[in-house]
Amino acid sequence: MEHIDADILILGSGGAGLFAAHHAADQNPNLKIIVAAKGLIGKCGCTRMVQGGYNVVLHPDDSMEKHFFDTIKGGGGINDQEMAWTLVNDAPKRIRELETKMGVFFDRNEDGTVHQKPFAGQSFDRTVHKGDLTGIEIISRMRDQLFAKPNVITWDEVRAIDLLVDEDSQKVAGCLMLNIRSGEFIVVHCKAVIVGTGGAATMYKIATPSLEKSGDGMAMCYRAGTDFIDMEMMQFHPTGLLAENSRLNGGVLEEGLRGAGGYLINALGERFMKNYDPEKLERSTRDRVSRAAYMEIMAGRGTPLGGVYIDVSHLGKENVRRMFPGMVERCRDVGKDLSVEPVEISPAAHFHMGGVKVTTNCESNISGLFVSGEDAGGVHGANRLGGNGVCDSTVFGARAGDAAAAYVNNLNSPGKVSEAELNNFINLTLEPFNREEGENPFYIRNALKNLMWEKVGLVRNKRDLEEALLELDTLEKRTNNVSVKGSTKYNLTWQEFLNVRNLITIAKMVTKSALLREESRGSHYREDFPESNDENWLNNVFARKGPDGEPLFWTEKVKQSRMDISKIQGHKIVATVK
């Protein structure tokens, strides 16, 4: 077991992790910074998979107030308003930094200004992009620029196991890591940790994220004792590609297809959004479009693969191929030509609005532990607008890097690693190797995905949620009885055990939060409470680990620090559409 000292450890190499590394290194070039990725730096994670773009106020006819209003309205009014205001105000700075310091090339208009396209839920066309593969451009440039910083060390295929906290001072003291290739543990002793590993949408049968995401960061933060907010709020992207048993199943077809005028059609050939949002139709918010598609499927109007169709062929073959080359290529991989025919899609688990409760500088309730990107909650409320995701990761990644550097520079006495805690984590991690016979984690993962899809998915009710909690307890017991054979080196069964352990931790918080919130709001839809209830539920749901290891919950009224939510029209779910 190797012991390594560092000033700042960054977990994750998506937009949040890389921006945090850049900002921390620029704040103090003498800091030793480690960036660790479960996959390959700059090649894994979900920011790289971003297609549509980045919401930012650049046009003189747009304004921060408009972007803020859209974000709060889209979030069902339960956003942390200070975080949302920070998001929209910092976004232009991050776009300028991406262009001038990182070398990102966004698409331009003929007059040289940055091109901005329409996205659902926006009152202004403010989505900056690079074709329909924006994330690859952003991450590739940020990764390349990182190698120019000698004080930043990058680790490929090294996953975090558990955070190490000094119990006496309640400061983060380091992290237990695992080199996936060698199978050896690494103990990083550091003054600050920035968590940006991404969410846990892969707990669902149809999901969009990169395959290595399994809620690791949130699960570690939970075990360490952080507070969480609105964990019931899981966004389902309305247009996940259906490809049956292929690994491409659930891959996103970007929101710009709807923004450009694409139609959503059921198996009867009907544009069904007219029955759910007659004003905005296909350009409604993700939560409403996803729920509408799900209801069409459940009503028996689904396609042969159990989805609906997206059709952009009326925009013209050449236009579609010019505007959406990446999406045309993705559909071609499953034998479909998006430019001339409808393509089967389904709602797919996509993004976690809930997460660790943090300040606008990404500080958790544990000193020295900073959380940004999808691991942090609050900014998006009950539903994230398309285009606000990569905006979130860069804005708050930058803030986490700045805040962590300042914290380290002012730290007098670092936290100390507890040998007893460290040994306990190692023993728990290696436990499956001690069993001759036991459960297969891949079977447990499949059971979890089906359970969450069927009982904690787009449409929820008390009976299903209570049954899901009982089944999750059973799956947790099965996980504690997993058996792993062979070496620790690149052992995929062992890695899946670690993945499933974390996913079940998050799934239990999601399910219990969903059971507690007896209303419908944003991405959370209760068919037994089908309307938003501002009188009783204009609240955030908080959670933290209790003494028995199970989550404790409480609610607090939303702080309306910048906007009176009663003045917003259209933020509530007001009726069930049959």
Cβ count near 303 (within 10 Å): 19
Residue 58 neighbours by CB under 8 Å, 6+ apart = 92, 95, 113, 114, 116, 126, 128
Q: Which pLDDT tens digit goes with each residue over 550-571?
A: 999 999 999 999 999 998 988 9
Bridge partners, residue 346, by sequence: 240
Average pLDDT over residues 184-213: 93
Give the DSSP per-residue string, 4-43.
EE-SEEEE--SHHHHHHHHHHHHH-TTS-EEEE-SS-TTT
User: Which position has the token pair 């069964």?
Assistant: 493
- Tokens matching residue 489: 């080196």
pLDDT in tens, 299-339: 999 999 889 999 999 999 999 999 999 899 989 988 999 99
Nearest to 540 by CA among 76, 74, 82, 78: 78
pLDDT, tens only, 446-504: 999 999 999 999 999 999 999 999 999 999 999 999 999 999 999 999 999 999 999 99
Please identify which residue in the block is written with the tokens 């728990």: 428
Q: pTM for this structure? A: 0.93
237 flagged as catalytic:
yes
Residues in the chain, how many?
A: 578
How far is residue 315's CA from residue 282's CA, in Å, rounded to a whole number?
15
Q: Which of 258, 288, 501, 526 is catalytic?
A: 258
- What pLDDT is stored for residue 252 in this prediction? 82
Q: Are 452 and 468 in contact (CB under 8 A)?
A: yes
- DSSP 8-class letter at 388: S
Position 78, amino acid: I
Distance CA 403, CA 410 (A): 11
Q: Which residues of 144-172 are buried (b: 16+ CB within 10 A; e: fewer)?
A: ebbeeeeebebbbbbbbbbbbbbeeeebb
pLDDT over 60 (residue 181): yes
Type of residue found at 517: R
Sheet containing 127-128: give its strands across: 54-55, 127-128, 116-117
Mean pLDDT of the residues in the chain: 94
Helices (H), ranges, 377-418: 389-409
pLDDT at 119: 83
Alpha helix ranges (H) inside 45-80 = 64-74
119 burial class (0-12, 13-18, 19+ CB within 10 angstroms)?
buried
Residue 155 DSSP symbol: E
Q: What is the pLDDT of residues 338-365, one digit of tens each?
A: 999 999 999 999 999 999 999 999 999 9
Provide φ and ψ at 369, rounded to 5°: -105, 115
Query: DSSP state, 558?
Result: -
pLDDT at 577 over 50: no
Query: How far is the C-alpha of 495 from the C-alpha of 322, rounded, in Å?
Result: 41
507: enclosing H helix or E strand: helix 492-516
| Domains along the chain with CATH numbers | 239-348 (3.90.700.10), 419-540 (1.20.58.100)
Q: Is 258 a catalytic residue?
A: yes
> Rounded mean pLDDT of 49-68?
92
User: For the segment 373-383, what is each residue's pLDDT rounded down to a tens digit?
Assistant: 999 999 999 99
In this structure, how many other beta carbons lie within 10 angstroms of the beta carbon of residue 268? 9
User: What span, in angstroms and rounded, lies between the C-alpha atoms of 515 and 72?
Assistant: 24
Q: How many CA atoms lie within 13 A of 32 on its CB side?
A: 8
Q: Are strands 355-357 and 376-377 parallel, antiparallel or unpaired?
A: parallel
Nearest-angstrom CA–CA distance, 276 and 525: 14
The answer to whether 4 and 184 have CB atoms below 8 angstroms apart is no
Structural tokens at position 306: 């159990």
Q: Please tell me which residue in 237, 350, 380, 384 is annotated as part of the active site.
A: 237
Beta strands 152-155 and 116-117, pairing class: unpaired
Of the chain, the percentage scoring pLDDT greater than 70 comes to: 99
Hey, what amino acid is at 333? D
Here the tokens at position 395 are: 């804005």
Among 298, 385, 308, 318, CA closest to 345: 308
- For residues 444 and 392, give the distance between their C-alpha atoms in angstroms, rounded to a whole number: 32
pLDDT grade for 578, boundaries at 50, 70 and 90: very low
CA distance 460 to 454: 9
Write down the pLDDT at residue 575: 64
Could you give the CA distance from residue 322 to residue 265 in angstroms, rounded to a whole number?
23
> pLDDT by residue (tens digit) across 234-267?
999 889 999 877 777 888 888 889 988 999 999 9
Place of tokens 């920011």: 47
Beta bridge partners of 485: none
Q: What is the predicted pLDDT for the residue at 131?
A: 84
Contact between residue 363 and residue 383 where contact means Cβ atoms under 8 Å apart: no
345: β partners: 241, 308
Question: Looking at residues 79-101, what average pLDDT do you find?
Answer: 97
The distance in angstroms from the start CA to the end CA of the chain is 59
Summarize pLDDT for 266-303 with one digit per residue, the tens.
999 999 999 998 988 998 888 889 989 998 998 999 99
Per DSSP, helices labelled H in 227-346 are 256-259, 286-296, 317-323, 325-332
